[in-house]
């Protein structure tokens, strides 16, 4: 499971969500899935079961780590916790865009995160035989 934070109103959140879709709809569409973080927050049984049954990679916009914390509070297993803000360190001076639209820089950061998540998922696949 690849689970981004909500991050509404911040470019960091948009980068995390786009990175998630790049993995779950593209790079590893047949091996990964995502879910709405709000379902976990409200204790939806299917969402809670999903994070408890599968290894999770969380993508958070900032150090508040809402996705990571909510997966953990739901009894889920966080195999890798990624923070978009940290990814910015490799893109000094980047102008990523806004909360609603990424620039070329923003898409580059999102793609780098997606590649990292894809590698992590592939590693989990090798270790566990499945990431779903």
Q: Where does this chain bind ligand SF4 (CB under 6 A)?
A: 5-7, 10, 12-13, 60-62, 64-66
- Paired with 56 in beta bridges are 78
Q: Interior CA angle at 131 toward 34 and 65, to 5°?
A: 50
Closest separation between CB of residue 128 and ligand SF4, Å?
A: 27
Residue closer to ligand SF4 (CB basis): 64 or 95 = 64
Q: How far is the CB of 5 from ligand SF4 (least distance, A)?
A: 3
Which CB, 98 or 130, lies closer to ligand SF4? Answer: 98
Give me the least distance between CB of 69 and ligand SF4, in Å please. Answer: 8
5 or 40: whose CB is closer to ligand SF4?
A: 5
Tell me whether residue 31 or residue 79 sits nearer to ligand SF4 (CB atom): 79
**Dist CA 55 CA 123 (whole Å):** 11
**Gap between the Cα atoms of 25 and 33, Å rounded:** 8
| Strand 77-83 relative to strand 55-60, pairing | parallel
CB 28, min distance to ligand SF4, A: 22
Closest residue to ligand SF4 using C-beta atoms: 61
> How many other C-beta atoms are found inside a 10 Å radius of the C-beta of residue 107?
16
Q: How far apart are CA 48 and CA 72, in angstroms?
A: 10
């Amino acid at each position: 499971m690849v689970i981004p934070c909500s991050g509404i109103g911040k470019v960091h959140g948009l980068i995390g969500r786009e990175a998630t879709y790049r993995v779950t709809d593209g790079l590893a569409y047949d091996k990964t899935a995502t879910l709405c973080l709000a379902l976990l927050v409200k204790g939806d049984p299917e969402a809670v079961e999903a994070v408890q049954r599968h290894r999770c990679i969380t993508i958070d916009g900032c150090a508040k780590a809402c996705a990571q914390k909510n997966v953990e509070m739901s009894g889920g297993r966080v195999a890798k916790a990624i923070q978009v803000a940290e990814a910015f360190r490799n893109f000094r001076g980047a102008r990523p865009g806004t909360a609603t639209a990424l620039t070329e820089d923003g898409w580059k950061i999102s793609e780098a995160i997606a590649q990292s998540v894809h590698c992590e998922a592939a590693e989990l696949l090798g270790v566990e035989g499945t990431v779903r």
